[in-house]
């Protein structure tokens, strides 16, 4: 009887860890895609507004917020004809247990950086 209970508890813990791990992976993939698209949106907005950097940053930030992320950094870099936007995004993972463990909850949010050349 004890071995059955131990096996059930082990399976439950493994199931929750697999779900939390997949949530973290999905947040990682989402952060990469959101950062890439936000940088592209910033570049498009910059070109369509004839060089309005503030409008480009605002468009990228609005896109990130609409996807449930948090924008950490957006800036225009480069010089001469090689200008690009760099966007850094933070996405929060949907986890069941890891958010409540003090040491593990530091690693549930995923961050990504993307560039888009003009």
- Per-residue pLDDT tens digits for 9-39: 999 999 988 998 898 899 999 999 999 999 9
> Domains in the chain: how many in total?
1
**Domain extent for 17:** 2-117
pTM more than 0.95: no
Angle made by CA atoms 108, 109, 112, in degrees to the nearest 5: 135
% the chain with pLDDT above 70: 100
Residue 25: CB atoms within 10 A of its CB come to: 12
CA-closest candidate to residue 113, choices 58, 67, 59, 75: 75
């Amino acid at each position: 009887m004890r071995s059955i209970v131990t096996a059930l508890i082990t399976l439950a813990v493994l199931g929750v860890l697999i779900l939390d791990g997949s949530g973290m992976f999905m947040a990682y993939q989402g952060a990469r895609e959101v950062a890439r698209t936000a940088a592209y949106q910033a570049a498009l907005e910059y070109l369509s507004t004839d060089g309005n950097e503030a409008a480009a940053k605002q468009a990228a930030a609005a896109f990130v917020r609409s996807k449930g992320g948090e924008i950490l950094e957006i800036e225009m870099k480069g010089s001469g004809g090689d200008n690009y936007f760099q966007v850094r995004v933070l996405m929060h993972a949907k986890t069941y247990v890891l958010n409540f463990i003090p040491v593990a909850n530091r690693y549930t949010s995923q961050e990504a950086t993307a560039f888009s050349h003009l």
